[in-house]
Amino acid sequence: MDKLFCQNLKQIRKDCELTQKQVAKKLGVVESCYANWEQGRTEPNIEMLRKLGKIFQVQIDELINGE
């Protein structure tokens, strides 16, 4: 898993003032699933990346590569 993605995901979530639990609920996944993405244990699929972009109101590229 790409460290940059994990860092970006966590920072963007915090910037949006959301908890992991809140994001997981919006995505329809369990909290541990989302937490694993931030910790680099697993990675989201394309569908989940799109949903993350909508939740955080950012482009997928910003999640993956940063600003």
Kindly report, residue by residue over 7-53, the tens digit of the pLDDT: 999 999 999 999 999 999 999 999 999 999 999 999 999 999 999 99
45 burial (CB, 10 Å; 0-12 / 13-18 / 19+) is exposed
Q: Is the dihedral of CA 17, 32, 39, 6 positive or negative?
A: negative
3-state class percentages of the chain: helix first, strand second, coil last, to nearest 5: 70, 0, 30
pLDDT confidence of 1, banded at 50, 70, 90? Answer: low
Taking 80 as the threshold, does the pLDDT of residue 67 lie above it?
no
Complete domains list, the chain, with CATH: 3-65 (1.10.260.40)
Tell me the pTM. 0.92
